[in-house]
Amino acid sequence: MKNKQTTLLFIALLHIFSFQLLAQKNSSTKSIDALKNETAQSIQSGYDTYKKIALSIWDYAELGYKEDKSSTLLQNTLKDNGFTVEAGVAGISTAFVATYGSGSPVIGILAEYDALPGISQDNSPTKTTIANKNNGHACGHHLFGTGSVVTGIAIKKLLEAGKIKGTIKVFGCPAEEGGSGKVYMVREGLLDGVDIVLHWHAWDSNLTINTSALANKSAKFRFYGISSHASVSPEKGRSALDAVEAINMMVNMMREHRSLICLQTQH
Ligand SMILES: [Zn+2]
């Protein structure tokens, strides 16, 4: 739990630093350090509450687009701390935007809280499934959602005290594990006017990663065959299954023999 605690603090400090950098370009390092310390203490003082929230989301272990309890818990936490929450945005019942403050800069923080199927696990460090429970949190989205909300609240306190200026928005993003919740939120224009969006993910150590990852685009392909008698006139038939097998083989060959950059640019 110590590591999780450290991770929460780290990410909050990172956000505070970025926020401060954008909000008050001429602030001295000293004042930024003071805000960092204040934020760390603020988060530390709420540690038991935040831990409880994270463990509740762990227990809920709700799949993408069905994160009803997890989303509600995070929304209520933000409301209790003075945020205005718009729920059910982009036509998704578990998506939300929580806002505090006004004016520029507008800083967004993403929160995710969906679980995965087939990895039921209690909260012990060894593989221990829970009877009659299928879902679980594989990569720490219970911390992810909680950490982002905690960060939003910490920044809100600084805004409220007039120590920084601007708007903080916590975006509750459903279905990160496979479902593209954020895509619909962007398409709805919910991120329009946001100056920067900060993101993080639970990990087994504190670090920043400067890399990119492949985006993916899904599509449906349909294969149609032509029926023909198998022994009288097989040459007149066209097998849809053959086409499926052929495309599978050719896509595999493309992946093995072309670089990711080629695939990205010539797709
Ligand atoms: Zn994840």
pLDDT confidence of residue 261: 59
Q: Which residue has the higher pLDDT, 48 or 262?
A: 48
* Cα 203 to middle of ligand 1, angstroms: 9
6 has a pLDDT exceeding 60: no
Distance 218 CA to ligand 1 centre (A): 19
- Span(s) in the chain for CATH 3.40.630.10: 2-198
- Report CA(113)–ligand 1 centroid distance (Å): 9
- pLDDT given at position 19: 60
Rounded to whole angstroms, the Cα distance separating 107 from 16 reads: 10
130 or 212, higher pLDDT: 130
Q: How far apart are CA 156 and CA 85, in angstroms?
A: 14
Provide the pLDDT confidence category of residue 167 given band limits of 50, 70 and 90: very high
**Closest C-alpha to 66, from 174, 183, 171:** 174
CA of 177 to the centre of ligand 1 (A): 6
User: Are 43 and 70 contacting, i.e. CB atoms less than 8 angstroms apart?
Assistant: no
Q: 10 pLDDT band (50/70/90 cuts)?
A: low
pLDDT confidence band for 12 (50 / 70 / 90): low
CA of 205 from ligand 1 middle (Å) equals: 15
Ligand 1 centroid vs 175 CA: distance in angstroms? 10
What's the 55 CA to ligand 1 centre distance in angstroms? Answer: 16
Closest to 4 in 3D by CA, of 50, 37, 36, 35: 50
Amino acid at 48: D
- CA terminus-to-terminus distance, the chain: 44
For domain 2-198, give the CATH number. Answer: 3.40.630.10
Residue whose entry in the numeric block shows the structure tokens 């065959």: 225
* Residue matched to tokens 């309890």: 69
Question: 267 pLDDT exceeds 50?
Answer: no
Beta-sheet pairing, 106-112 with 196-198: parallel
**Per-residue tokens: 140:** 């720490």
Q: What is the rounded average pLDDT for all residues in the chain?
A: 87
86-105: pLDDT as tens digits: 999 999 999 999 999 999 99
Q: Answer yes or no: is pLDDT of 30 > 80.
A: no
Q: In 89-100, which positions are buried (b, 16+ CB within 10 angstroms) versus exposed (e)?
A: bbebebbbbbbb
For residue 109, give the nearest of 195, 34, 187, 183 by alpha carbon: 195
